[in-house]
Structure 1
């Protein structure tokens, strides 16, 4: 229930202030209206799957509520899939706790490694996104170059 409550709080933050924040400051993160529209469509079409799978992934499970709130995903669906997606994760943690008993601190080292791996993957994806946005087809250097060549 704590997982659900925390997720609902982040969902509400995304829903209430997230869109205005990104519309104003998004340009500093190379996020424009087309990116927000694309993310909104993605959550409208696949939001349930994204939430369900995202709840079972370290690091991502913590922040997945924000984009769901931004996209104003159906709150009832969000809550149901958050609850369902959190159950396997929490059962796994309970099972590991039962197995490890008083040695439960052993898992902290492994969970940190997994968290760091997910953060590295996320940073890599962010880098690739920035690279694509700055050199890709939409408004990047290549398009400016093509326009310059057309003019000549």
Structure 2
């Protein structure tokens, strides 16, 4: 039933052209996994331009997380836990995002967008730590852009079968996730070795 309401809402926003696509992605309760492949199908039908859809989607995908960012900044963790469910964010996701942020700092605004467990809630610790909002938006946009382009392209390629985009997207992105995780692991090891050397030099 909820999916039907979301679909009706997205179809309604289609009437506002590219602004409607952007607006749809500003709402955290509207899954990008639905909007972007569907927009790709609209490109397939000739209703929209692929590149303009990607830009609109990336802008909307950057504005949307600002809701959780400011919820964390102004209300702190207790408010996020209390109201996060309305943005489809669970306490488990918030806890995972907190740990991820503690390990990797501001870079999580970029890297976190590629990781399934933390990508939705990663905006929360960024807000709580009062990370510079311009930096947050830039990191988020750079991360969201290729994800948006891929989702729209898959929807375009599948045409009327755009609803099958989810599994195909995971197939493409899992190697990227493994590369990011490996890169982070190497970075952590590098930092540990560097800190140990600094401690030895100071002795």
Q: TM-score range by the shorter chain?
A: 0.5 to 0.7
Work out which of the residue numbers 71, 94, 116 in structure 1 matches 2:129: 71
Relative to the length of structure 2, the TM-score reads: 0.41
Gaps of 5+ in 1: 23-28, 30-34, 115-152
Give the alignment's Cα RMSD to 1 decimal: 3.3
1:46 maps onto 2:105 in alignment = yes
Please state whether the residue corresponding to 1:58 is helix, strand or coil.
coil
Gaps of 5+ in 2: 1-58, 81-90, 172-203
Q: CA deviation at 1:60?
A: 2.2
- Asked if the contact 2:73–2:129 (Cα under 8 Å) also holds between the matched residues in 1, the reply is yes
Deviates more, 1:95-104 or 1:56-65: 56-65
* Aligned-pair CA distance for 1:56: 2.2
The CA distance in 2 between the partners of 1:100 and 1:93, in whole Å, is: 11
Instruction: Give the 4+ runs in structure 1 shifted more than 4 A.
Output: 19-22
Aligned length: 98
Give runs of aligned pairs for residues 73-112 of structure 1, distance below 5 A: 73-108=131-166, 110=167
Contact 1:51 1:81 in 2 (8 A): yes
- Decide whether the 8 Å contact of 1:56 with 1:88 is kept in 2: no
Distance 2:62 2:110 in 1: 13
The answer to whether the Cα contact below 8 Å between 2:151 and 2:165 also exists between their aligned partners in 1 is: no
Q: TM-score, normalised by structure 1?
A: 0.53
